[in-house]
Amino acid sequence: MEDKKYILEMIDICKNFPGVKALDKANLKVRAGTVHALMGENGAGKSTLMKCLFGVYIEDEGEIFIEGKKINFSNPKQAMENGVAMVHQELNQVLQRDVMENIWLGRFPGKMGVVDSKILFNETKRVLDELEIDINPRIKMGKLSVSQRQMVEIAKAVSYNAKILVLDEPTSSLTEEEVTHLFRIINKLRDRGCGIIYISHKMEEILQISDDVTIMRDGKWIDTIEAKNLTTDKIIKLMVGRDLGDRFPPKDNKPEEVILEVKNLTGMYQPSIVDASFELRKGEILGVAGLVGSKRTELLETIFGIAKHSSGEVILHGKKVDNSNSRKAIKNGFALLTEERRATGIFGQLSINFNSIIANLDGYSSKGVLNSKKMEEDTKWVIESMRVKTPSSKTAIKTLSGGNQQKVIIGRWLLTKPEILLLDEPTRGIDVGAKYEIYQLIIDLAKKGKGVIVVSSEMPELLGICDRILVMSNGRVAGVGDTKELTQEDIMTMAAKYI
């Protein structure tokens, strides 16, 4: 490696939780003015290591040095004030407040408790302009897309003049154009001498943007290698400790007769879906592709009844169904796995047991009394059949890796015995090994006769596991094609059809 001093050194870091050794003498050394990728399967210890750096957790053993000075942050505020900023994958923002308030929260400019809104606006505009982010400082956060909110969070980190910036899955919700923009920002910060820790499961991105790559497995440091000396296959082998082989399981499901028809479905509140029509067969995996803003999520939410529709029909087994709310949709045999797992998928503070059975409470109730034995049996089934790695069913779900959280949610919905599974970004933020397991679960569900609809931003994923792909463009169905015949270029052409 080039002779550059380390801006960050984390040496022999250990962290234990009840029943789990999350970090076992983990190491990370980041050079100033470089992008350092941190890779590993979900549960490898990446997030725990970063939380030790950021003051969320206090390490049990080990030392942390920033620019050669030993530090010991006891909370994130201390970390940020000392030039360490972190953009989390799951965004924590006050959606009811505007952009500038979110960026400067806890450090508003002003005197005697009175906020100087002019300085607040100008400083926000300065940071956004510097990063070429075209967002109105006065717009409410709740009105922004996930990708725009992510850009605001990066602007907030930059506003602290961070020497060390941690980006956790920063491109999970970004279009190709937005990824290019993000990389421009990263390169600008790197040129200033910032040390950037980049956590991602996207191999192509890692090889494109990184200078160095550290790989972790089972809470341990495995190796640190210059990115120019790595290939995707070598990274995967180091991450999982074995050759993964094919990225996708064999597709041995066999689609049969049509079980679901969506006819001329239009959202009540525009912009939303417009006149969407398609069919889904029993045992089929139908992918939904499209650019950010194409209303892929809205399509699933309208079918499931979370979003209201002004016209159109949802027909199951030849009969029109009334999915006017999620409770009715569940009774009608539909299940929805949402895109933002932490915000709308899990009850983070509560146990795996609670998160497993919550969608099926009616199935455990007799004369107002819950059958706790049946609930425990079903939770055990979820843990065993989904292969969830956890010390116990009583463990809080937020302590699990992203992949294991996702498995619990899929298991939860399977307990409701659905016929139609609507999966929105089911592998978002999940490592390559856990992805394979989720793909296998999806294919197995199709083999059991379920109809599965999968929204994904990753075209190789859609082409790898789906039988057909429906492409959305600005709220409309732009086309449907067989994956054996479609190319990524075909999908992109359709995605731009109504823009």
C-alpha–C-alpha distance, residues 394 and 417, integer Å: 24
pLDDT at 72 over 60: yes
pLDDT, one tens digit per residue, over 287-341 is 999 877 799 999 999 999 999 999 999 999 999 999 999 999 999 999 999 877 6
Report the chain's terminal Cα–Cα distance, integer Å: 46
Q: What is the DSSP string of 447-476?
A: HTT-EEEEE-S-HHHHHHH-SEEEEEETTE
Same fold, 6-240 and 258-495: yes
C-alpha–C-alpha distance, residues 451 and 303, integer Å: 13
pTM, rounded to two decimals: 0.61
pLDDT at 14: 95
pLDDT at 308: 95
C-alpha–C-alpha distance, residues 181 and 87, integer Å: 16
Domain ranges of the chain: 6-240, 258-495
pLDDT at 7 over 60: yes
Pick the more confident residue, 429 or 200: 200
Q: Which of 427, 489, 483 is nearest to 454 (CA)?
A: 427
pLDDT, one tens digit per residue, over 25-59 is 999 999 999 999 999 876 688 888 999 999 999 99
Per CATH, domain 258-495 is 3.40.50.460: no
CATH of range 6-240; options 3.40.50.970, 3.30.930.10, 3.40.50.300, 3.50.50.60:
3.40.50.300
Residue 158 C-alpha from the chain's centroid: 22
Helices then strands, each counted (H, E), the chain: 16, 24
Pick the more confident residue, 477 or 292: 477
Mean pLDDT, the chain, whole residue set: 88
C-alpha–C-alpha distance, residues 482 and 473, integer Å: 18
Q: What is the DSSP string of 380-438?
A: HHHHHHTT---S-TTSBGGGS-HHHHHHHHHHHHHTT--SEEEEESTTTT--HHHHHHH
For the segment 269-289, the average pLDDT, to the nearest whole number, is 95
CB count in 10 Å sphere of residue 445 = 21
Q: Which residues pair with 287 in a beta bridge?
A: 454, 469
Predicted confidence band at 4 (pLDDT cuts at 50, 70, 90)? low
pLDDT, one tens digit per residue, over 122-134 is 989 999 998 888 9
pLDDT at 173 over 70: no
For the segment 244-264, the average pLDDT, to the nearest whole number, is 89
